[in-house]
Structure 1
Amino acid sequence: MAKETMLTFLDEQLNKKLTDYDVAIDWDAKNHTIELVFLLFAENKEQWLIDDTEGIGSSEEVIEFEDGILLYNPGKSKIDPEDYLACLPFEGKKGMKKQELLGLVDYIKEILDDGQSALLDFLEDEESEVFELNFEKIRYEACVAKYAGQEQFIPYPSY
């Protein structure tokens, strides 16, 4: 059996806990990053003209919203935190603690559950000007704390 890595562990956990959402893992081996990308979809019944972050408008029947959380190696990765919902460091080849990864997946589910509801509300209220997901560090830490005692590291994948 192949050695468990951050990629295999996250893939298993995301497939197990986030069955209602479209989630992908994007590993950039050259930049030493793993991005967890998630999509939310909602029907734009009124076909409002909605601008994305780049100012491109759409009045499509179904709105697709994409965001991501980046796991990165502080010593090697080049990142722009503005491009992500959150950026979380890992410890090089050691990877991340199991409790951090488990808590992260649980927290992503909370973010997406809240986000799906907020996206639907956004499309129903013509006064709403902005829709965005929120990452609250204190809430993430509470999700991680639920897995106290699972402090073994899940290693970063080898090339």
Structure 2
Amino acid sequence: MDMMTYFDQQIEALDFPGDINVNWDQEIRSFELEITMTGITNKMEIEDQEGDIKDDEVSYDDAILIYDETKVNGADYAENYVATIPFNGRQGLSKSVADGLFTYLKDWLADGMSDFMDFLDPEMTVDTFILEWQQDIFEQAVQDAGDAGVTGYLSYPKY
């Protein structure tokens, strides 16, 4: 199975009320998992990520970069993404990393959406919202997948 097919299947299986899109940049061999959460502001004035004041509906966007470490230096992009995950050229992405990623995403997105809704609730006292990536929990999910016998690689797409 290739990475794009796997990503599409896993995203479809997630129970996430927001949007997740896969953007494939063939030139630098990377994938961006773009996450969008949208909610009603409950007539509160909220400053969005671009600095605009919203008083009806607000969206939060973030992304994860999955990149070919033989073509791209992930550190060059790290400040623009909540997480960056390398894969090794045409060999592709380790299945244990892919399974660990989507295991982690399931809880991370659920918790993130809950926190976003708390942020939009005028009865709560949440001043800001940001999705926080926890590298140690992600790494543990990858380790757990490997311990469960997940092996092999998802190939880079050929089309």
TM-score (norm 2): 0.87
Q: Which of 101, 104, 116 is the aligned partner of 1:104?
A: 101
| One-letter amino acid of the structure 1 residue matched with residue 63 of structure 2 | G
- Alpha-carbon separation, structure 1, partners of 2:90 and 2:71: 11
Unaligned runs of 5+ in 2: none
CA contact (8 A) 2:49 2:60 kept: no
Q: Which of 60, 85, 94 is the aligned partner of 1:65?
A: 60
Unaligned runs of 5+ in 1: none
Secondary structure at 1:147's aligned position in 2? helix
Q: CA deviation at 1:128?
A: 3.3
**Match of 1:114?**
111
Q: CA deviation at 1:19?
A: 5.2
Secondary structure at 1:143's aligned position in 2? helix
**Match of 2:142?**
144
What per-residue deviation string (whole Å, max 9, x for no partner) do you get for residues 16-70 of structure 1?
Answer: 234544211110101211011112122211x22222233122112x322111111
- Alpha-carbon separation, structure 2, partners of 1:131 and 1:97: 32
| One-letter amino acid of the structure 1 residue matched with residue 69 of structure 2 | P
CA contact (8 A) 1:37 1:69 kept: yes
Q: Which of 125, 128, 132 is the aligned partner of 2:126?
A: 128
Q: Which of 70, 84, 87 is the aligned partner of 1:87?
A: 84
Q: CA deviation at 1:117?
A: 0.9
| One-letter amino acid of the structure 1 residue matched with residue 5 of structure 2 | T
- Alpha-carbon separation, structure 2, partners of 1:129 and 1:74: 37
Q: CA deviation at 1:132?
A: 0.3
- Alpha-carbon separation, structure 2, partners of 1:55 and 1:64: 12
TM-score (norm 1): 0.87
Identity %, equivalent residues: 29
Secondary structure at 2:145's aligned position in 1? coil
- Alpha-carbon separation, structure 1, partners of 2:103 and 2:3: 16
Q: Which of 13, 16, 25 is the aligned partner of 2:10?
A: 13
CA contact (8 A) 1:40 1:112 kept: no
**Match of 2:19?**
22
Greater displacement, 14-23 / 27-36: 14-23
CA contact (8 A) 1:5 1:156 kept: yes
CA contact (8 A) 2:112 2:131 kept: yes
Alpha-carbon distance change, 146 to 119 in structure 1, aligned in 2, over 3 angstroms: same
- Alpha-carbon separation, structure 2, partners of 1:71 and 1:109: 17
**Match of 1:155?**
155
CA contact (8 A) 1:32 1:72 kept: yes
